[in-house]
């Protein structure tokens, strides 16, 4: 803690780039740190905080809105609770939503005197998905903003692309942000990279790199509708107090993601399946998906939660489809 203030690390990166994976690695890498975490999820159903290992009591989940658009009261009240509550921490991690412009999160740490008094930005770390970054750069301006505003870029998922392409991507990142340090990584593994307390971040850097971007047209001051207009990306969450049929679910999801890969950026969920004692963590990024085995349900009644993030999502149609995937004792023969 350079000057007694609490260092803050802001973790940004587009939907599915590996932010939560990185957050977990970071917590394990620095066991001596006491982290407080502000987790901002896009959508009303919080999933990510359930996926963070080992910092339960210090996690603040802001899941109803995007802190980038409206640095809303939730954010300030989380900071307030952190400072006034019984929390023991010496480092603050903020995971932004995948569609956040980090400038709006960095700002209060630079221009709000109360926040500035207690906190100091250590670094802004951007996760870039090597497989999808190039496409997303064309489609979503947030990806460019995130790269430009970070001082460390973790070019993640290099296991999914060719080595020569990694060098190309690195050059593309540096073109947008010559001041960034770029580390190619797999599964956001950062064992040999120094990331915290480097204090390599400076306000000047942000300003320099943000000169390239037009301001967010004052949308922060408007109501929450601007959130959707700004990003055109919506999040639809579904909760079932039932379990799914694994075969039906996998088959349907594969097709759904394939046919909607240009509009569905991200699906994640905590799922229960018939005859499976454990919960499954489901992740889809564009067309690809994985199931990770989670804890056993044990005494808990299995449920299923899913969040779809993308454009032009037909909620009703999706709900009808998902309902058909719920496990039923007697096989339903109708279509």
When the beta carbons of 230 and 327 are compared against ligand GTP, the nearer one is 230
Q: Are 176 and 155 in contact (CB under 8 A)?
A: no
When the beta carbons of 160 and 319 are compared against ligand GTP, the nearer one is 160
CA–CA dist 27, 130 (Å, integer)? 23
Tokens matching residue 334: 């109708």
Tokens matching residue 187: 């599964």
Looking at 67-75, 186-194, 226-234, 271-279, which segment touches ligand GTP (CB under 6 A)?
186-194
Strand partners, 181: 152
Looking at 11-19, 53-61, 106-114, 272-280, which segment touches ligand GTP (CB under 6 A)?
11-19
Closest C-alpha among 129, 95, 97 to residue 18: 129
Work out whether 52 is an interface residue with ligand GTP (CB under 6 A). Answer: no
Looking at 153-161, 170-178, 195-203, 229-237, which segment touches ligand GTP (CB under 6 A)?
153-161
Work out whether 231 is an interface residue with ligand GTP (CB under 6 A). Answer: no
When the beta carbons of 130 and 180 are compared against ligand GTP, the nearer one is 130
| Closest separation in Å from C-beta 99 to ligand GTP | 8
Work out whether 159 is an interface residue with ligand GTP (CB under 6 A). Answer: yes
How far, CA to CA in Å, does 51 sit from each of 39, 170, 291? 11, 29, 13
Closest C-alpha among 230, 235, 209, 307 to residue 69: 230
DSSP per position, 22-55: HHHHHHHH-TT--EEEEEE-SSSS--GGGG--S-
When the beta carbons of 48 and 74 are compared against ligand GTP, the nearer one is 48
Work out whether 20 is an interface residue with ligand GTP (CB under 6 A). Answer: yes
When the beta carbons of 56 and 111 are compared against ligand GTP, the nearer one is 56
| Closest separation in Å from C-beta 53 to ligand GTP | 12
Work out whether 44 is an interface residue with ligand GTP (CB under 6 A). Answer: no
CA–CA dist 279, 292 (Å, integer)? 9
Q: Which of 187, 199, 213, 297 forms a contact with ligand GTP (CB under 6 A)?
A: 187
Site for ligand GTP in 278-317 (CB under 6 A): 283, 285, 290
Size of the site for ligand GTP (CB under 6 A): 23
Work out whether 65 is an interface residue with ligand GTP (CB under 6 A). Answer: no
Q: Are 26 and 93 in contact (CB under 8 A)?
A: yes
Closest C-alpha among 155, 150, 145 to residue 68: 145
CA–CA dist 145, 137 (Å, integer)? 10
State the residues that interact with ligand GTP by CB under 6 A: 13, 15-21, 48, 98, 127, 156-157, 159-160, 186-188, 266, 268, 283, 285, 290
């Amino acid at each position: 803690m350079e000057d007694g203030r609490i260092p803050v690390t802001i973790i940004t990166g587009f939907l599915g780039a590996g932010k939560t994976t990185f957050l977990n690695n970071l917590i394990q890498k620095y066991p001596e740190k006491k982290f407080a975490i502000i987790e901002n999820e896009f959508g009303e159903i919080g999933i990510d905080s359930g996926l963070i290992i080992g910092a339960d009591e210090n996690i603040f989940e802001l899941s109803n809105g995007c802190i980038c658009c409206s640095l809303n009261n939730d954010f300030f009240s989380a900071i307030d609770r952190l400072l006034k509550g019984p929390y023991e921490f010496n480092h603050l991690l903020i995971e932004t939503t995948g569609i956040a412009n980090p400038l709006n999160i960095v700002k209060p740490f630079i221009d709000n005197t109360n926040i500035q008094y207690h906190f100091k930005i250590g670094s802004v770390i951007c996760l870039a998905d090597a497989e999808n970054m190039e496409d997303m750069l064309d489609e979503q301006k947030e990806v460019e903003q995130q790269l430009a505003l970070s001082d460390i870029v973790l070019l993640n998922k290099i296991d999914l692309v060719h080595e020569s392409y990694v060098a190309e991507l690195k050059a593309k990142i540096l073109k947008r942000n010559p001041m960034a340090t770029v580390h190619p990584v797999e599964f956001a593994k950062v064992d040999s990279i120094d990331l915290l307390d480097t204090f390599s971040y400076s306000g000047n850097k942000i300003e320099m790199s943000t000169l390239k971007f037009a301001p967010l047209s004052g949308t922060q001051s408007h109501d929450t509708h601007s959130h959707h207009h700004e990003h055109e990306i919506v999040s639809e969450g579904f909760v079932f107090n039932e379990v799914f049929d694994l075969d039906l679910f996998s088959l349907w999801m594969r097709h759904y993601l394939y046919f909607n890969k240009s509009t569905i950026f991200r699906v994640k969920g905590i799922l229960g399946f018939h005859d499976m004692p454990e919960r499954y963590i489901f992740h889809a990024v564009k067309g690809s998906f994985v199931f990770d085995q989670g804890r056993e349900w044990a005494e808990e009644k299995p449920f299923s939660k899913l969040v779809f993030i993308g454009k032009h999502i037909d909620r009703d149609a999706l709900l009808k489809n998902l309902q058909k995937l719920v496990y039923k004792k007697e096989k339903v023969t109708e279509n």
